[in-house]
Chains A and B, each alone.
Chain A
Amino acid sequence: MTIAMFLAFVLATLGITVWSARKNTGSSAYFAAGRSITGWQNGLAVAGDYMSAASFLGISGMIAFFGYDGFMYSVGFLVAYLTVLFVVAEPLRNAGKYTMADLLAYRLQARPVRAAASLSTLTVSTFYMVAQMIGAGVLVSTLLKDYGWISANGAIAGVGVLMIIYVIFGGMRGTTWVQIIKAILLMAATFVLSFLVMKHYDFSFAKFFDAIANLSYQDAKGNEVTRNFLDPGWKFGAAATAGTGGWGPLDLVSLGLALVLGTAGLPHVLVRFYTVPDAKTARVSVIWAMIIIGVFYLLTTFLGFGAATLLKPHNIANENMAAPELAHFLGGDVFFAFISAVAFATILAVVAGLTISASTSFAHDFYTNVLNHGKEVAPHKEVRIARIAAFFVGAISIGLAIVFQNINVAFLVGLAFAVAASANLPVIVLSVFWKRFNTAGAVAGLLVGLAGSILLIIISPSVMGVDGPEVAAAKRRLIQAPALFPLTNPGIVSIPLGFLAAILGTLVGKREPESEAKFAEFSVRAHTGLGAEKASDH
């Protein structure tokens, strides 16, 4: 049953890919869907790109196990879109062509800036992608445990191969439609689940919240406890984290900052704004995305607290399985199969979105503008390079995901947000608003933000720590020594560091009269849309 639903989704999306492959002619079609996606379609696609398995499975699980603190992720993920709306979407659409680096390189020296931006794009995308693929492996091997012939490695490789096919043949148009379908399925699944949860409570919010506030279950040691799951602090509270120094509240702030500022620096979200005809449509698509994403994250209340109250945390196999198990409890085998297929579709779609943004950046930024000094490459050649890059990005991610499959998924996604917030956002903001900003500042900001956030993660408790003998080999941390940095989320240090490096780099580097002279041109283009890339005819 489950496998039939998986196959149905895979076949449907492959059909779309074949259909869009026929319409893909020219690089604007391949990289930006001919800039012909409408506002609500792109809004759905942005939402589809964004609501990853970490959201659907991860947040419901986090709420099911830790209550209110898990809901803090939901809040951050939506508020983040205000940064996208106010600061990034419209200037990006007006002044760029295919990638984030287009915006940065507009008035700065193209080669160093694009090389650094491409490195950071590939890093963010790879971390994010490896996380999704590990998630796919866990999900598929748990869901399909009746089918012994499907292993976690097989699932990872299968997801990888499928997404390579989507991206290489379907290009941006195919990927966009995969996102749209997935977003609709995910929203439908979430609505039905929420409805069933409330049906269980006779559609009475009072009953529902009473149950959340008096939740009796067995804690990790098997003791019967009653807790109020609406209370904050079960995960990030000073008391809950007392064993590791009580840094929880600061960690929450650090995480919140990375979420709110990192979204506007995620390459796979940014490239979506090139698929629409103009900046106004880009704005409309952010609004649509905010409506869809907001409703979805509001509904995580029902998924997460529903799983907590109806299943009880100690009955849920692991954090990532709360939503599928809730579906099984409320809707039986068929609904369970449907929800599992939706979760699988979610992973597939997000991975495809990541692959296309990474390979576009490689082809457009690195190959065309760094290796070939920005000399016009024939469009079909740029597309061919991107397809080859998509193949390698996919292959490398499959390899990394298999090697690192025991690494915590949330940690990898957190790393992606932290790198995006620390490396990408400062240089985007400064290049749009600061005339004096120069090449040295951009390169310094990108590299220090990138290196700083990765280094802080390596010396954080996520990677460093002394595990007792009771910890299973697969879950032991990579470096068995006391962590040098107390927070698991580096944002609160690395984001200011990224800004500081970009500003200091600018002030220390010598002034660039050409860059400053081009600020007028850049501003007029960014704010009026004059000379922006037009939609192609097909």
Chain B
Amino acid sequence: MQNPSKPDWDELARRPGFQALIDAKKRFIVPCCIFFLLYYSALLYLVGWHPELMKKPLIGKVNGAYLFALSQFAMAWGMAWLYMRKAASYDRMAAEVIRDVNH
């Protein structure tokens, strides 16, 4: 809206670079979302319906339930780190798409 000449949005959206950006994002984000939801649901499921299995002490007194819960923290941080790295390439692709648009 602040631009003196309105960008041609439809033309921008049809650019191969933009399609490639959307595809690249989807290829990463969709599997990641499915994975983290499944990984988290697995904890809820095991704790809720297989408590005996999760109560087994694995390291000293520390049991599977607590270790699996801790691994959720590692999982969340790991995925955030992965995304952070991936996103740098999305930023480059996005900049490339709108390089010749004055903004």
Contact = CB atoms under 8 A, between A and B. Distances in A.
Interface of A: 68, 71-72, 74-76, 78-79, 81-83, 85-87, 205-206, 209-210, 212-213, 228, 230-233, 236-238, 248-250, 252-253, 256, 260, 280, 283, 286-287, 290-291, 294, 297-298, 520-521, 523-525, 527-531, 534
Contacts of A76: 40
Contacts of A210: 60-61
A209 B90 CA distance: 44
A230 B70 CA distance: 12
B66 A521 contact: no
A524 B76 contact: no
A79 B87 contact: no
Contact of A260 (B37, B55, B57): B37
B76 A209 contact: no
22 contacts: A72-B43, A79-B75, A86-B32, A206-B60, A209-B60, A228-B55, A230-B62, A231-B55, A238-B48, A252-B47, A280-B87, A283-B84, A287-B84, A290-B80, A520-B9, A520-B10, A521-B9, A521-B13, A527-B25, A530-B101, A531-B1, A531-B2
Contacts, number: 154
Q: Which of the listed residues A248, A525, A528 has the most CB atoms from chain B within 10 Å of its own CB?
A: A528
B89 interface: no
A527 B22 contact: yes
A68 B21 CA distance: 43
Contact of A294 (B62, B66, B77): B77
A530 B98 contact: yes
Interface in B28-87: 29, 32-33, 36-37, 40-41, 43-45, 47-49, 51, 54-55, 57, 60-63, 65-66, 69-70, 72-73, 75-77, 79-80, 83-84, 87
B98 A232 contact: no
Q: Interface majority SS on B: helix, strand, loop or mixed?
A: helix
Contacts of A294: 73, 76-77
B103 interface: yes
B12 A530 contact: yes
Interface residues of B, number: 56
A209 B87 CA distance: 40
Given A232-B55, A291-B77, A520-B13, A527 B29 contact: no
A87 B44 contact: no
Nearest to B95: A528
Contact of A232 (B9, B51, B70): B51
Contacts of A212: 61
Contacts of A79: 36, 40, 72, 75-76
Given A230-B66, A534-B2, A86 B29 contact: yes
A524 B13 contact: yes
Given A230-B61, A253-B44, A524-B13, A531 B76 contact: no
B81 to A, nearest CB: 8
Contacts of A213: 57, 61
B69 A253 contact: no
A283 B9 contact: no
B22 A252 contact: no
Contacts of B41: 253, 256
B10 to A, nearest CB: 5
Contacts of A249: 47-49
Contacts of A527: 18, 21-22, 25, 90, 94
Contact of A523 (B13, B54, B90): B13
Given A230-B61, A231-B63, A249-B47, 11 more contacts: A75-B73, A81-B76, A213-B57, A230-B65, A233-B51, A256-B41, A298-B70, A521-B10, A523-B13, A527-B18, A527-B21
A455 to B, nearest CB: 24
A128 to B, nearest CB: 23
B69 A75 contact: yes
Contact of B61 (A209, A521, A524): A209
A527 B92 CA distance: 12
Nearest to B70: A298
A498 B2 CA distance: 36
Q: 6 tightest A-B contacts by CB?
A: A249-B48, A521-B9, A520-B13, A213-B61, A528-B94, A232-B47
Given A86-B32, A230-B63, A249-B49, A280 B103 contact: no
A78 B76 contact: yes
A226 B63 CA distance: 17
Nearest to B29: A86
A212 B63 CA distance: 11
A82 B51 CA distance: 26
Given A87-B29, A531-B3, A287 B60 contact: no
A230 B44 CA distance: 15
Contact of B48 (A86, A248, A524): A248
B78 to A, nearest CB: 10
A290 B62 contact: no
Contacts of A530: 7, 12, 98, 101, 103
Contacts of A297: 73
B12 A524 contact: yes
Query: Counting chain B CB atoms within 10 Å of each CB, which of A250, A286, A524 scores highest?
Result: A524
